[in-house]
Chains A and B, each alone.
Chain A
Amino acid sequence: MSKPEAVKEASMEMQKKMIARNYDAITSKHETGRKVSSTFVPGNLNELLMCFDIVNNLPEINAIQAGMRKASGGYIMEAEKSGHSEDVCTYVKADIGQMSKGNIAPNGKPYPNPDVLMLSYTGCYTFMKWFELLREEYKCPTLMLHVPYEGDGHSTKNMRDYIVKQLKEVVIPGLEQVSGVKFDIDRLRQYLRNSAKAEDNLVWCLEQGKVTPSPIDAYFGGVYYIGPIFTAFRGTDDAVAYYEMLRKEVQGRVENHQGPLTPEGTYFNDQKYRLIVEGPPNWTNFREFWKMFYDEGAVVVASSYTKVGGLYDQGFRHDPENPLESLADYCLGCYTNLNLPTRVDLLAKYVEEYQADGLLINSIKSCNSFSAGQLMIMKEVERRTGKPGAFIETDLVDPRYFSAANVKNRLESYFQMIEQKRRGGGSKTVAA
């Protein structure tokens, strides 16, 4: 096997180049004449947008980028000064605040105004208001795709028909109008074929979390693994190539009994605790947050955040034979569109199947879609698995809500509790 560092670097480098190319495609729209859409990660219709040569810009990802560059705090304050409540989702405020500060993309060029707001409304109420707010700013066409919530634990034919009908009668004609490109269903099929290939390899990689030591970190590393498929690349040849490359890297680590590479460039092999994590990560202190885990020997073997853009590990694949229906099923099945009992089932199953020591919840102040009900989720998963749970609280991109000392304390107590449990002690919850 060749040098693992080089292999690892290759997939990260590749992803970096893909993202840079996409930002260049967005910011050069005036030169190239391409149309740009803004859209959301869960339930995104990337393959469909590609059928119209539309470049896909994702405000959630831009907020994450701003968080990681430590710029989001200022943007949020800016939005709050202009009348946005301190209580609402900080992704929205980071996006809106960024607009009033010149709206500069990571490549240093200004974001052009979108030509269409593709409001794929899946799994989060905030999406609807976020794009109503952006619509006031950009005054461009807004295409709403309403994806009903799987409130009773499953999707129904009525839900699926409703989505397909919206795709046929609202979304596709709307995108044709914006782009001037006629819809070609065979083109969509080809992209969906690519999606399914990439999805197979992603699932394979995520499932390696079952191996000991785990060759992946399914939370901190996981956010990189899902990058291409959850954003502007699902359906592209690049994404297919990326996941083949990622698979080879993970395979190499499995063969060498290696853990994932940490940001410090060492393999995290000495894994003492195996965790399932629920909820999105904090982005403003991402590396510091990650370090608190590997410093203590905790690896994340599965997470729910890597399922927000699709539950591929539960069998779903985009299906070129039923293109629109499969887009509908995809939207319906994203993690935050599942009801709480289904989320509990999934997390309890992960605890068992990945032989984890327990469930850790990172509760995000911003995000009701994830957070409302997480304490119940923790109690239920603990009850069902007999494994201890823990609860920490941070925010996505608002640095005011990341208290390193608190998080660290909570994690340390949790690891002690796991130790105790291993020695035969009782389970107790570490919570706020």
Chain B
Amino acid sequence: MSGKNRTVADIVGVCQEMFEDLSFNYARKWKAAKPGRKVVGFLPVYSPLEMIHAAGCLPLGIFGGGDQMEVIHGDAYYQSYICRIPRSTIELGVTNRLDFVDGMIFPFVCDVIRNLSGIWKIMFPNVWSKFFDTPQNYDKSIGGTYYVQELHELKEGLEQMTGRKISDADIKNSIKLYNENRRLIREVYSFRAKQPWLAPTSEVYLLMRAGLMMDVEEHNQMLKDYMAAAAKEDRPKRDNVRVSIYGSFCEQPPLNLIKSIEMAGCYVVDDDYSLNNRFLMTDVPTDGDPLEALAMTYIENSVETSCKYVPDGKVKGQFHVDAIKACGAEGVIYATPSFCDPALLDRPMICNKLSEAGIPYIAFKYAENSGQMQPIREQAGTFADSIKLWS
């Protein structure tokens, strides 16, 4: 549905509805619309959605249960000292909310999601599931060669699940659509960085989350519509400080947390929320072998984030410093899920680099179902005030 006349409120309304719908009705309807259609769920942080799309399936981002779902069964699977996302994902499974999902991809993030892939195999033996281990060696001939073969195996798995061959042309076509998606997302991010009062993060976030649950072409149109509509909005520019948010790449904070940060006087001008759609930073070439193209783009042009090894210690964290400069942020909020090893083990290294670069930061932890926002609002407010005072 192209909508030249769609307003920001319309678009954000659709996204919010999808975000809140833990029965995944969009995906259910998509699947029911044509016989033989299949849906493949994927967890954070990165899976090549082009492959799922090329297989004729709908990629469905699974980000746990958020703060709207009561976890009753999931807690019986996880000790108190493990983050929330695996238990609420189990909850989605055992309450049949994912009963229409034909396949699941568990990419490498950390040992929690890694082990969750095995739990899924035990609990849902009839669902095709794949643990997808991306390389930690970034030499094209070593990690690249390994990755190309992993993509072949992913392709074969998808073919077996759907019963239909995936051609190079299919993959190239999907790459084109996702290249466009990434380009538009970069545009939205830079639009927000330039005029954050026109594109608040509480909206941009919903736009991105919905995009990971819907047909990519539909999302591409939606991104264009959003930018056109947001540019026309009459929204006052406030005396807010500009911050980047890092550490939130896997379990997502409640929407209220994002709103609280904004209400405390911060414009969020960069973030690593639901990173899948920005993981590759450049277009994937559409000439030559498509699997090679996907692999080499990952090797050479993907983001630095905690689930990846940084081979050169000297540049560890520099990615963040550069990103902060590029978007003009004045400070960083390093916000991580509780018990999140990747983000928390990385925190001292990233924050040291920020200190060296003279970038102020604060750090706190959250859970996807955190309820109390007052402390966060106060912390973010004090941080914003201190930046204003000293800058």
Contacts and interface: CB of A to CB of B under 8 A. Distances in A.
B347 interface: yes
Given A133-B349, A373-B115, A146 B143 contact: yes
B33 to A, nearest CB: 31
A158 B291 CA distance: 15
B119 A373 contact: yes
Given A83-B351, A340-B121, A372 B82 contact: yes
Contacts of A375: 76-79
Contact of A372 (B112, B122, B143): B112
Contacts of B110: 125, 368
Interface string B113-156: 01111110111000000111101110101110110011001000
B159 interface: no
Nearest to B336: A85
B348 interface: yes
Contacts of A151: 106, 114, 117-118, 130-133
A376 B344 contact: no
A124 B111 CA distance: 7
Given A144-B137, A371-B79, A432-B79, A129 B341 contact: yes
A132 B314 CA distance: 11
B142 A162 contact: yes
Nearest to B308: A128
B184 interface: no
A352 interface: no
A372 B115 contact: yes
Interface string A3-28: 00000000000000000000000000
Given A148-B133, A339-B118, A162 B146 contact: yes
Contacts of B114: 125, 149, 151
Interface string A105-121: 00000000000000001
Contacts of B112: 368, 372
Nearest to A344: B122
B73 to A, nearest CB: 11
Contacts of B221: none
B360 to A, nearest CB: 15
A92 B123 CA distance: 33
B122 A166 contact: no
A85 B345 CA distance: 8
Contacts of B346: 129, 132
B143 A125 contact: no
A170 B141 CA distance: 12
B143 A132 contact: no
Contacts of B30: none
Given A88-B341, A146-B135, A151-B114, A165 B142 contact: yes
Contacts of B118: 151, 339-343, 373
Contact of A128 (B78, B143, B309, B365): B309
A169 B131 contact: no
Interface in A96-155: 121, 124-126, 128-130, 132-133, 135-136, 139, 142, 144, 146, 148-149, 151-153
A369 interface: yes
Interface size class of B (residues with CB under 8 A): 35 or more
A380 interface: yes
A331 to B, nearest CB: 13
A306 to B, nearest CB: 20
A363 B344 CA distance: 21
B117 to A, nearest CB: 5
Interface in A151-177: 151-153, 156, 158-159, 161-162, 165-166, 169-170
Contacts of A84: 348
Interface in B56-92: 76-82, 86
Interface string B303-321: 0001101110100100000
B153 A158 contact: yes
B111 A139 contact: no
Instruction: Give chain B's interface secondary structure class.
Output: helix
A87 interface: yes
A365 B118 CA distance: 20
A165 B79 contact: no
B137 A372 contact: no
Given A128-B309, A340-B119, A376 B145 contact: no
Interface size class of A (residues with CB under 8 A): 35 or more
A202 interface: no
Given A125-B111, A363-B79, A170 B137 contact: yes
A240 to B, nearest CB: 34
A83 B307 CA distance: 20
Given A128-B309, A135-B313, A375-B76, A152 B130 contact: yes
Interface in A257-310: none
A149 B131 contact: yes
Interface in A185-200: none
B111 A372 contact: yes
Contacts of B307: 125
B16 interface: no
A238 interface: no
B282 interface: no
Nearest to B120: A340
A146 B136 contact: yes
Contacts of B340: 87
Contact of A368 (B115, B132, B153): B115
A53 interface: no
Of the candidates B111, B146, B344, B352, the one having the most CB atoms from chain A within 10 angstroms of its own CB is B111
B341 A368 contact: yes
Contacts of B78: 372, 375
B79 A158 contact: no
B342 interface: yes
A423 to B, nearest CB: 28
14 contacts: A83-B347, A85-B347, A125-B111, A128-B309, A130-B345, A144-B311, A146-B143, A149-B131, A151-B133, A158-B150, A165-B142, A340-B115, A375-B78, A432-B79
Interface of A: 82-85, 87-89, 92, 121, 124-126, 128-130, 132-133, 135-136, 139, 142, 144, 146, 148-149, 151-153, 156, 158-159, 161-162, 165-166, 169-170, 339-344, 363, 365, 368-369, 371-376, 380, 393, 432
3 tightest Cβ-Cβ pairs between the two chains A and B: A151-B131, A340-B118, A129-B345
